[in-house]
Amino acid sequence: MTDEQWLSGNHLLSVLPAAEWERLSPHLLSVDMPLGQVVYESGDTLSHVYFPTTSIVSLLYVMENGASGEIAIVGNEGIVGIAIFMGGETTPSRAVVQSAGKAFRLDTRVLKEEFNRAGPMQRLLLRYTQALITQMAQTAVCNRHHSIDQQLCRWLLLSLDRLATNELKMTQELIANMLGVRRPGVTEAAMKLQEAGLIRYSYGHIEVLDRPGLEKRVCECYSVVKREFDRLLPDLKAL
C-alpha cells in the first residue's frame, strides 16, 4: 500500500485542505503499532503525535497500585497526543496499542507550528478534542453505572467503527485492563455474548457475528459518543 493510501486511512488527515496536506505530509512517517506497545507512559514528555490508520490506541489512567481503566480509544478517526496542542507537554494517561496495525507519526514541533497558524488544522483538532472529551466523560459514566457485558458491547462497537474488519485480536487480560474490571468478569461477559450468538470468542481473538444484535444490547453510551463524533466530524470539507 502506498503512503498516499495510508494517509487517506486517517480521517483527520484525509480531510485536510491541499495547502495543509502539502506542509504536513513530508514529515509524516508510517510506523508499525504492534499489539500491547506502550506509545507513551503517564508523565512522559511527548515528542511525537500519532495518527492511527489501521491500528487502535487505548488511553488509560493508571493508579498507584497498578490498576488501570480505559478512558477513551483512538483509531482512524483521530490523533494520539492532544496534550501537545492543548497547552501541555505531558499527560497523566498511558497510551497502549489495543489493536495492531499502522499509524503515521509526526514530530510535535511540526504539529504545533501548524496548529499555531490558526487555520483549518487548528479548527479540526479542536473539534476532534471536543468529541474525545465526550467519549471520556461517557466512558466514566458507563463504567460506573452499566454492566460489564454492556461495557464490553460498547467497547466492541467503538472498536469496530475504527476497523475495516469484524475481528479483533485481544486477550481477556488486556480487555480487563481496558475496562478496569477483573478477568473473570470479562470471561463471564464474553460468554454471555457468545451464548447469545453475537460474538465468537477464543483466546486472543474476538469475531463479531451479529453487529445489529450488539447495538440492541449495548447501553446508550455508545450512541451518545457516536452522535457527537458524527456531529463534529462529518466530512469537514468546510474547514
pLDDT in tens, 93-121: 899 998 889 999 999 999 999 999 999 99
Cβ atoms 124, 239 nearer than 8 A: yes
Amino acid at 102: K
Rounded CA-CA distance 103/11 in Å is 12
Amino acid at 219: C
Cβ atoms 61, 69 nearer than 8 A: yes
pLDDT of the residue at 184: 72
Cβ atoms 10, 53 nearer than 8 A: yes
C-alpha cell at 20: 495543509
How far lies 58's CA from each of 5, 19, 99, 175, in Å? 24, 31, 9, 11
pLDDT of the residue at 177: 66
pLDDT of the residue at 1: 44
C-alpha cell at 185: 468478569
Rounded CA-CA distance 177/67 in Å is 8
Report pLDDT digits (tens) over 177-229: 666 667 677 778 888 888 999 989 887 688 999 999 999 999 999 999 999 99
Rounded CA-CA distance 229/130 in Å is 9
Cβ atoms 97, 159 nearer than 8 A: no
Report pLDDT digits (tens) over 7-48: 558 999 998 988 999 999 999 999 999 988 999 998 888 999
- Containing 14, the helix (H) or strand (E) segment is helix 11-14
Q: Which domains does the chain have, with CATH numbers?
A: 3-117 (2.60.120.10), 143-226 (1.10.10.10)
At which residue does the C-alpha cell 486472543 appear?
204
pLDDT at 236 > cutoff 60: no
pLDDT band at 3 (very low <50, low <70, confident <90, very high): very low
At which residue does the C-alpha cell 460506573 appear?
144
Higher pLDDT, 234 or 192: 192
C-alpha cell at 7: 494517509
Determine if the pTM surpasses 0.85: yes
Q: Is 113 helix (H, G, I), strand (E, B) or coil?
A: helix
Report pLDDT digits (tens) over 63-91: 778 777 888 999 999 999 999 998 877 88
Closest to 134 (Cα-Cα) out of 225, 22, 16, 20: 225
- Strand 199-202: give its sheet, edge to edge: 167-168, 205-208, 199-202
